[in-house]
Every structure is written in C-alpha cells, then in structure tokens.
Amino acid sequence: MYSRIAGTGGYLPRAVVTNHDLEQRVDTSDEWIRTRTGIRERHIVAEGEMTSDLALHACRRALEAAGKDAGEVDLIVLATTTPDMIFPSTACILQAKLGVTRGAAFDVQAVCSGFVYALSMADMYVRSGQSRCALVVGAEVYSRILDWSDRSTCVLFGDGAGAVVLVPSDQPGVIATRLHADGRHVGILAVPGQVCGGEVRGKPFVTMEGGAVFKFAVKVLAEVAEEVMQAAQMPIERIDWLILHQANVRIIEATARKLRVPMERVVVTVDRHANTSAASIPLALDEAVRAGRIRAGQHVLLEAVGGGFTWGACLVKWG
C-alpha cells in the first residue's frame, strides 16, 4: 500500500502588510527588503485569530478538494512552531473545531521543516494501514514571536496555513522521503525565551544569524534532494516542479542552480507570503495546484530546512 495526496488547501489572514507599511515602523525600505529577500508583502493575523483557526480554514479547503468529509478523518498531524497554547496540542484543538472525534492528533515541531516531517510521518501511518484519511497541516502565527523593532527579522515572516489530505493508493504518490537534524546548530535560528513561574525569561522573539542560515540551507537542501532522488532511483532531471521552503528568494535560486532545475519549474510565493515557516510548502503547493501548474503524473520535490537545524525532502507523484 502507498499514500497519495488527494487534495490541498491554503489560507492566508486578510490583513496584508507591505514593505512600504514596514518603512513606517522600522528603519528599512522596500528596496532593501526586496533585493535581499524577494519579499514584497506578508499576511498578518487579526486580534484573537489563532494558529488553529488558520489551520481550520486550510483543512476545510483541502477536504473539499479531496471530496472528503471531516467525519472520515482518522489522523491529524499538525506542524507548527506557534501553537495556540503550551498544551493541549494545536492538533487536538483543530480536531475539536473540525468535529472529528476519532483517530490520533498530534503536533510536530521541526520549525520550517515541519510540514516535510509531518508528511513523512503521515505517509508511514497510511502505508501501514493505520490511517485511511490523514490531514497533514502546516500552520503558523509568526507575527506574535517577532520583535517589530528588529528590522533584521520582522521583515522576513508572515502568517498562514496549508494542508493536504493523504489517502491510501495502490500506486506510489509519496514516493520517497528523507529527514535529518543536527542539534549542534540550535543557536543560529531560535526563539530562546521560556515561560517560568508565569514570567517570560530570556528573549521570546526570533533570533537569527542570517549568513550562517543561508550557507547551511543551500548546502543541505542540495544534498537531501540528491539523497531522496537516489532513494527513488530517479535522476534530478525527472523533477517537474521544485517547491522549496519559502524563506528567501536567494536561497531558492541558489538551490535551484545547484540542482540544475530552471526557475520556470520552481514554485515561488515568498514575494507575497514571506516566510510562513511550516506553512510555506503546503501554501505554495496549494497555489500551484489550484492554478493548474501541477498536473497528474508530474513529479514534485518538496524541500525544507529550519531551526534546529532540521531539514528534509519528499518526492511526490501527483494525481
């Protein structure tokens, strides 16, 4: 038995913050942001809007696309760095909002690699026969862990959610996955704050060494792509679409060059979404599918790298 993606869904909050808007808040400029990151705008949640709310919208759209009812869902794997609360899991909160009362529901915390990790886990559940209708979700509200006076980080991120429905198949849909982590790099990209005794200790905002992240990301994304294609016994040239974590257009372009994949076959949404962490790949996937760019029979390579460091790739055959 194999698994395949039967439907996709995405959701972005209504409020849009442009680079010009940020010029009024911090010492930056539209030109500075665009030339270094490729980002023009990002979506930000409304007051009271939670990660589970974004996930709910994305999941409903994915279920509709798959022709499935929430009552058929027997597994929810939700990747997020920004849960609604410390516990219970945001997956359980989402489960209740969907009206699902059976099966397993749990969160995955692999930062920007979260969706790739979650898809790999759900694939194993479906392949083993433990799940027949899995929701795999990436949802983030990064606007609440940003220091909006720090121009080096606040311009990079946005909020959003994406989801896919994974079902059994007699033909390979998710062909191969590979996951990695190296905890020696925890300090390069982190939110080092803690809650202790009802007080915040340390810095509760995103901190990042941009140059180090760039070098590491391009290196491991190229390596894991080769690894997953070797596992699938397919050459890189067979990739029809490359969907990388949407962190920075320079990382996307550098990785595509290393893999010899032309930019015409690379899905790019970072200009309009910014970095939505675990939500970035499913959002980009949903947009490309709904636009008719990704068609049945095509091979799609999903890749991400995130804080930890974590990284991974999934090769998917569409349809």
Q: Which residues have a catalytic role annotated?
A: 112, 245, 275
- Within 8 A by CB and 6+ apart from 196, the residues are none
Q: Please give, one letter per residue, the 3-state secondary structure of the chain.
A: CEEEEEEEEEECCCEEEEHHHHHCCCCCCHHHHHHHHCCCEEEECCCCCCHHHHHHHHHHHHHHHHCCCHHHCCEEEEECCCCCCCCCCHHHHHHHHHCCCCCEEEEECCHHHHHHHHHHHHHHHHHCCCCCCEEEEEEEEHHHHCCCCCCCCCCCECEEEEEEEEEEECCCCEEEEEEEECHHHCCCEECCCEEECCEEECCCCCEECHHHHHHHHHHHHHHHHHHHHHHCCCCHHHCCEEEECCCCHHHHHHHHHHHCCCHHHECCCHHHHCECHHHHHHHHHHHHHHCCCCCCCCEEEEEEEECCCEEEEEEEECC
How many whole angstroms separate alpha carbon 163 and alpha carbon 91?
12
Which two tokens mark 129? 């026969």
Comparing CA positions, the residue from 31, 54, 59 lying closest to residue 43 is 54
How many whole angstroms separate alpha carbon 133 and alpha carbon 287?
22
